[in-house]
Chain A
């Protein structure tokens, strides 16, 4: 069962959710960080924090505030320490009673969780909300969140480290040819049907471009594009990176899924054997492991640069 496990997912949630957001709002305002009324109410440094989204959970641990967490989302699984914390639901189905019962002094929510925000405001529980629309937002959120919880130094240091890693990856591949890359988020297993891939918006598009790839659908102002077979052939990607989340697939299954692409023999990526299946949650959680995702993209697209 579930090779694509249920675990991952709030990251995936954000990825997919952003796809919808991006599809209808191609021009983004600057992200907002923090709910003003809630922040006004919160006068002390939060000590009992609930993070519903894996991205911010990761960030809290990265900045050294992991010990202040009293609850996490159902799909958090990194770092391993989250396994000891109570679960309080997910992006779409937060368990408000459980949240309130844990007596948090700060709940971190995603900007689209409007109902949860209203309920928490009624319960007089301070909230911090944020939205990620691209790579720059991730480090901005990390710094702003650190500032909000009195961990500015730790957050700035963690963000600076990630920024350095991203800069190093970018520099390593900057002078190399940029293969036209199709970044596939999902498709029907065992066949090239219902392929869903990265368009020209979103943090994964940004990470791909940083890692020395040229997004094959970069001209489409959407975060997620449903592709027809004809579109895949016509776009002629020179490399295909297909992401798999959750539990690792057995090697033979991965190889079988990779071979499925051989049906499209004229696609340059297929001809040259540059179809890569990458397994890892870091690709769908826009958090502190984003530099790891960038590094893996870069190593996949430019292996010679890392020898």
Chain B
């Protein structure tokens, strides 16, 4: 029932958000096949400007929320988020390198920035995965957490170094990229992100029951028959792939990955069989809503969506937190 409500919310957001924007469009004209596409401004706004960004918001929001849930359980730390282990910083570093050095690469129509960004996230994932493999059985998740945080800091320093090499316009573009944007302007980068996200979803699908056990403690999980190391690696790779795909698609969007899981837990409790799907659905709906605000509140200009996620998500979370308390 609760999941159905979250599903209805996500469906509603998906259906309504493309209808609203800084410009008024006529839905009849959007689907009027008698108007040539090149002359149909309403259809262009709907299909090129709005629909891709709503889909991107849904995917990025759900990926970040799912990753947040999984990282918080995996690291047994409520402050963990998709940014914690450095995968997000790896994706950012890739994008900053592509912008600063004007890399001219493209695969399947996907342009250099998202491509190199995703490659950066894979590089960071390889390092984090190496750390997790080097970790001896029984070592606290704290080691992985500290290793990941350190990697994040190192990559952030490298980002600063590359930024230092950039000229003024490149720096300007780098800063703008780091603010995040869901205005993807075509379906190609979405299709590119779907591959790694699909792999991540398969991984997430195996996790709900075992995450409940692992998040309490690895030893008690092991005594109940959970292959802890395997579970942790599936969790780590799935959450990292989802994070890398999301950040390469939209840039870093703060707050969703840490706040949505907590918000959902306040509503549905801590059972991961509910938390994971509910977070996916609510994360998507939440980011669609935030992006709607971002693109309309100071129209015709836009706010970076990350500002809106923090400014809306923060107070709502605090209200829920203290209302429950």
Asked if B168 and A4 sit within 8 Å, CB to CB, the answer is no
Q: A228-B49, A230-B295 are in contact. Are A191 and B169 (CB under 8 A)?
A: no
Which of these, B40, B168, B177, contacts A266 with CB under 8 Å? B40
Does chain A have a CB within 8 A of B50? yes
Asked if B48 and A12 sit within 8 Å, CB to CB, the answer is no
**With the chains together, A191 CA to B45 CA distance in Å?**
16
Does chain A have a CB within 8 A of B231? no
Pick from A220, A229, A245, A263 the residue with the most CB of B within 10 Å: A229
Asked if A233 and B49 sit within 8 Å, CB to CB, the answer is yes
Q: A189-B104, A191-B111, A225-B301 are in contact. Are A230 and B21 (CB under 8 A)?
A: yes
Asked if A230 and B111 sit within 8 Å, CB to CB, the answer is no
Residues of A within 8 A of B (CB-CB), count: 44
Which of these, B40, B102, B104, B169, contacts A12 with CB under 8 Å? B169
Asked if A229 and B301 sit within 8 Å, CB to CB, the answer is no
Query: Which of chain A's residues have a CB closer than 8 A to the CB of B49?
Result: 228-230, 233
Within residues 246 to 295 of chain B, which ones have a CB less than 8 A from any CB in chain A? 295
Which of these, B168, B176, B183, B300, contacts A13 with CB under 8 Å? B168
Closest to A253 in B: B104
C-beta contact mask, A1-23 vs B, less than 8 Å → 1, else 0? Answer: 11110101110110111010000
Tally inter-chain residue pairs, CB-CB below 8 A: 123
Does chain A have a CB within 8 A of B160? no
Closest to A7 in B: B167
C-beta contact mask, A179-201 vs B, less than 8 Å → 1, else 0? Answer: 00000011011111110100000
C-beta contact mask, B153-187 vs A, less than 8 Å → 1, else 0? Answer: 00000000000000111101100110001011110
Asked if B22 and A231 sit within 8 Å, CB to CB, the answer is yes
Does chain A have a CB within 8 A of B220? no
7 contacting pairs across A/B (C-beta < 8 A): A188-B111, A188-B113, A194-B173, A196-B173, A229-B49, A230-B49, A264-B48
Which of A's residues lie within 8 Å of B, judged by CB?
A: 1-4, 6, 8-10, 12-13, 15-17, 19, 75, 91-92, 185-186, 188-194, 196, 220, 225-226, 228-231, 233-234, 236, 245, 253, 263-266, 271
Q: A10-B168, A186-B173 are in contact. List 4 more A-B contacts (CB 8 A).
A: A4-B170, A190-B112, A190-B113, A230-B295
